[in-house]
Structure 1
C-alpha cells in the first residue's frame, strides 16, 4: 500500500496492514490510529512519540514509557525494543563528529581531480575521459556496493560500518598518492583508479549513516538538525576540493602536494572512528519513538520499498537530483574552461554552489523541524533547482558572464543541495517499517545509477567547436561545445 510521504509515522501504523509487528507501536498524543490524515496540521511525522515532552526522559502525553525487560549487552535490535527510560548521551556528538569528518574527507577525495582535470590530464598523459572516470568510478562502485552497504548498516551495525568506511577511505587516499611518492611507476592511472575505488566503497558505508545515526542517538527535536549536519558535511568536502585543488595545483609538479594534503583528514577520520566509536546504539534509546520503532529484515524491506509507490516516486525524483548535482560538480571545470573561464573561477562557482547549499540546508532543517512541512519543502526546492539548472545551461555557453554564472551557481546550491537532508528524512518517513539504512540507501543507489547515465550522456553529446575558441583548458585538446549536453539535461529535468 502506497504511503503519503508527507505523513507516515516511524513508530506506528495501520493495525491491520501487516506492516507493524504486534505490540511494537506507541500511542500518540492525539490518539492516532491510522495514517490517512494529512501532514498540514503540523503534527510530528517522524514518530508517534507525541507532541509534547520531547526533552530526554520526559515522555509526551499518551506515550508508553519503555520498560527494562532484560539483562546483557545492548544490541541494535534492543535499542528499538524499549529498554530503559528515554535519555540522551553526550557522546552522540562525538559519533556525529566522526561521521561528519569521514563524509567530508571522502567527498574531497572524490572531487580532488575534477577542478584541475586539464592539468592532471596533461601531466600524466591521460585523456579527459580517463580523468572523468576518476570521478565516475564513485557512481559505478556505489551501485553494487550500495546494496551491500545497506545490509551492513542495518544488519551488522552503525559502528562496524563507520569504522570499516574510515579505513577504506584512508587506504584509498594513500594508494592514490603512491605514483607521486614512488619513482618510475609506469601506470599511475591504475593506482588512481584503485584508490578511488576504495574511497568509493567507503562512501557507500558513510553516506547512508546520517539518518540512522540521527534516529538511534538523537531525540525527536534534534533529529533533522543532526541529520542535516552529518549530511551537509559531504558537500562541505566538495567545497574544500573546489577551493583547495585549484589553489594548490598551478602546474603538474604540484599534484603530489595536493594528494598528500588530502591524506591528512582521511587519517584523522580513521583515528577518530577507530578510537572513539564504541557502540552502534546507546544503552538507552533517546526517545520513546526510538524505543518503539521496528525494522523489516533486509530483503523483505527492499521488497516493501519497491512496492511503496510514494517512496519510489520520491527515490526517482530525488535520485535524479543527486545524479544531476554530482555530474555538475564533476564536470563544472571542463564546461567553463571551454567558454574561457579559469579553473580558479570554476572552483569559486563550485564553492558558491556548496556554501549556499549548506546555508539553505541549515535554514530548511530548522524550518521543517518546527513546521514538519517535509513534502512541501522538497517539492519546492527541486522545482526551483530545475529552473536554476536551465539558466546555467544557457549562460555557461557565453563569454564574460562571470557574475551571472556565480549567481546562478549560488541559486542552484541554495535550492538543490539544501533539499538533501530533508528529502532523506522524508524517505525514512514514507518507508516505515523498513530500516533507515535501506530507506536512504536505495535512494542513494538510484541517484548514483542516474548519475552514471547523466555523465555518460553529457560527455557523449559534446562536439568540437567550429567557431573561434576562447578555451582556457590546459590539456591541449580542442575546445568542446557542451550545448547539446545541457539541453539534454534540461529535457530530463
Structure 2
C-alpha cells in the first residue's frame, strides 16, 4: 500500500467543450469527461534526497585531479595538459553518449538509468584505488573515464525527477534541489583533494594520501549504490499534477522530439545562452587551481576552498531562484537578471584577483558563484517550460550535451589566453562571451507552455 498522500490544491474536472483555448505546441487535452484529484507522496523527498547524494558522488570526481594538479604532475610525472584532460573527459564522453542515454531514459524510467549511473560511478572510483603506483596514471584515467560515462545518467535526471514526483508549486524547487546535488559534489571535489593530498609531501606521503582519497571516494559511491537499490523508486502511484498526467499519456517518439526541439526558436536561443554561461563556469572551475596559485603561491588549500565557496554560494542561489520561480513563474526575467549579475560578478573577480588579499578573492567568488552557478537549475526549468510536453530528460540532455561542447571550447580557449597573456585578459575574454550570452537570453520569448497547460486544466474551476 502506498504511503498516505498529501493532497495538493489541484482538483480538476475537465468537461467536454468547457474550454476552447489552445496551448501553443501542446496537443489538445482530453475531451472526455473526467474528474481527477492529483496527489503528491511523502516518499518523493526520500527519492530526491537519495538522488542528491548520488549526483554528488559522481560530480565529486570531476576535478579530483585538476584541483591538485601540481601534486599529480609531480607524483605521476605527467604533464599539466594530461591532468586537464581528466576534467575534459567528463565533457567529451557526455557529448558522445547523451543521445543514447536520453533514448534509454525516454523508453524506460529514471530508476533504471540511475542504477546504471551509480554502478558506473562506483566502478570508476574503485579502478582509481588500484592506480596509486606511479606508473598507473593510465588506470586512474580509465577510472575517470568510466565515471565520466556514468555522468550521462546524472545530469539529465533532475527536471524529469521533479516533473514525475512533484506538484506544480514545487517542481522548480525540486529541480533546483536535484541540481544542488551535482553542485554539492563539485564543491566537495574542490575542497577534499587539497585536504587529503599533501602537494609538498614526499613520494611516499603522496602515495599514502592518494590511496586514502581514492578509498574514501570509492566507499562513498558504493554506499550510495546500495541506497539507490533500496530506496530509489521510478514513479509515484499516481501523477502529481495535470501537466505530468497529460505528459505521461503522450506516445513517446525520441526522433520526433528531437526534431521539435531543434525547430523551437526559444529552445535554441536558451540552448546558446545557457551553454555560454555554464561553459564559462566549467572553464574557470577547471583552471582555478592554476589561476589562484599564480597570484598566491603555496595556497593549494585556499584554491580548493575558493572553489568550495564558489559552488556553495551557487547552491544557495539555485535554491533561492527555484523558490522564486515557483512563486512568480517569471522565467525569462529571472534568467536575464542572473546573467547581468554574473557579468558584474565576473568583472569584480577579474579586477580583485591580484589585489594581494586572498580574503577578497573569497568574497568575489561568493558573489560570482551565487549568480553564475544558480543559472544551472534555472536553465533546466526554463527549458522544460518552453518545450513542454517534450520529455524533460531529452530536453536537459541536449542542454548538457551542448554545454559540454562549449565547456571544452571555452576551457581550451581560456587556457590558451592564460598561457599566452595573463589571467586578466583570459577573464575579460570570458566577460565578453558572457555579454554575448546575455544578448541571446534577452531575445527569448516567454512562452511558458507547461504553465499554460496547467492553467488550461484549471479554467473550468474558475
TM over 0.5: yes
**In the alignment, is residue 315 of structure 1 matched against residue 271 of structure 2?**
yes
CA–CA distance in structure 2, aligned partners of residues 116 and 367 of structure 1: 37
Residue number among 344, 360, 371 corresponding to 2:328 in the alignment:
371
Residue number among 383, 408, 419 corresponding to 2:375 in the alignment:
419
1:20-99 equivalence runs, <5 A: 33-35=21-23, 64-66=34-36, 85-99=37-51
**In the alignment, is residue 232 of structure 1 matched against residue 189 of structure 2?**
no
**In the alignment, is residue 292 of structure 1 matched against residue 246 of structure 2?**
yes
The SS at the match of 2:219 is: helix
CA–CA distance in structure 2, aligned partners of residues 32 and 177 of structure 1: 62
Asked if the contact 1:106/1:237 (under 8 Å) is kept, the reply is yes
Residue number among 402, 412, 427 corresponding to 1:486 in the alignment:
427
Q: Deviations over 1:208-244 (max 9, x none)?
A: 1111011111111221121111111111111112221
Shift of residue 47, structure 1, vs aligned partner: 13
Shift of residue 129, structure 1, vs aligned partner: 0.6
Shift of residue 399, structure 1, vs aligned partner: 5.0
Asked if the contact 2:117/2:154 (under 8 Å) is kept, the reply is yes
CA–CA distance in structure 1, aligned partners of residues 255 and 356 of structure 2: 53
Residue number among 224, 227, 236 corresponding to 1:269 in the alignment:
224
Asked if the contact 1:150/1:437 (under 8 Å) is kept, the reply is yes
CA–CA distance in structure 1, aligned partners of residues 267 and 420 of structure 2: 41
Q: How many residues align?
A: 408
Please state which structure has a larger fraction of its residues in helix.
2
**In the alignment, is residue 219 of structure 1 matched against residue 204 of structure 2?**
no
Which residue of structure 2 aligns with residue 74 of structure 1? none
Change in 2 beyond 3 A, CA 1:259/1:34: same
Normalised by the length of structure 1, the TM-score is 0.78
Which residue of structure 1 aligns with residue 237 of structure 2? 283
CA–CA distance in structure 2, aligned partners of residues 47 and 218 of structure 1: 22
Shift of residue 31, structure 1, vs aligned partner: 5.1
The SS at the match of 2:239 is: coil
**In the alignment, is residue 127 of structure 1 matched against residue 55 of structure 2?**
no
Which residue of structure 1 aligns with residue 99 of structure 2? 147
- Segments of structure 2 that go 5 or more residues without pairing to the other structure are 1-12, 435-462
Asked if the contact 2:106/2:252 (under 8 Å) is kept, the reply is no
CA–CA distance in structure 2, aligned partners of residues 305 and 245 of structure 1: 40
CA–CA distance in structure 1, aligned partners of residues 258 and 420 of structure 2: 44
Structure 1: which 4+ aligned runs deviate by more than 6 Å?
25-28, 46-49
Shift of residue 484, structure 1, vs aligned partner: 3.7
Which residue of structure 2 aligns with residue 77 of structure 1? none
**In the alignment, is residue 137 of structure 1 matched against residue 89 of structure 2?**
yes
Shift of residue 460, structure 1, vs aligned partner: 2.3
The SS at the match of 2:170 is: helix
Which residue of structure 2 aligns with residue 247 of structure 1? 195
Q: Deviations over 1:241-278 (max 9, x none)?
A: 22211111113232221111111221121111122234
Shift of residue 338, structure 1, vs aligned partner: 1.2
CA–CA distance in structure 1, aligned partners of residues 211 and 413 of structure 2: 32
CA–CA distance in structure 1, aligned partners of residues 28 and 43 of structure 2: 25
Change in 2 beyond 3 A, CA 1:246/1:308: same
Residue number among 139, 142, 150 corresponding to 1:194 in the alignment:
142
**In the alignment, is residue 407 of structure 1 matched against residue 342 of structure 2?**
no
Shift of residue 300, structure 1, vs aligned partner: 0.9
CA–CA distance in structure 2, aligned partners of residues 87 and 374 of structure 1: 25
Which residue of structure 1 aligns with residue 215 of structure 2? 260
The SS at the match of 1:461 is: helix
Asked if the contact 1:142/1:204 (under 8 Å) is kept, the reply is yes
CA–CA distance in structure 2, aligned partners of residues 298 and 240 of structure 1: 35
Residue number among 262, 287, 304 corresponding to 1:331 in the alignment:
287
Asked if the contact 1:65/1:288 (under 8 Å) is kept, the reply is no
CA–CA distance in structure 2, aligned partners of residues 47 and 225 of structure 1: 27
CA–CA distance in structure 2, aligned partners of residues 432 and 244 of structure 1: 39
CA–CA distance in structure 1, aligned partners of residues 20 and 337 of structure 2: 28
Shift of residue 35, structure 1, vs aligned partner: 4.7
More displaced, 285-294 or 165-174? 285-294
More displaced, 287-296 or 171-180? 287-296
Change in 2 beyond 3 A, CA 1:198/1:32: farther
Normalised by the length of structure 2, the TM-score is 0.83
The SS at the match of 1:281 is: coil
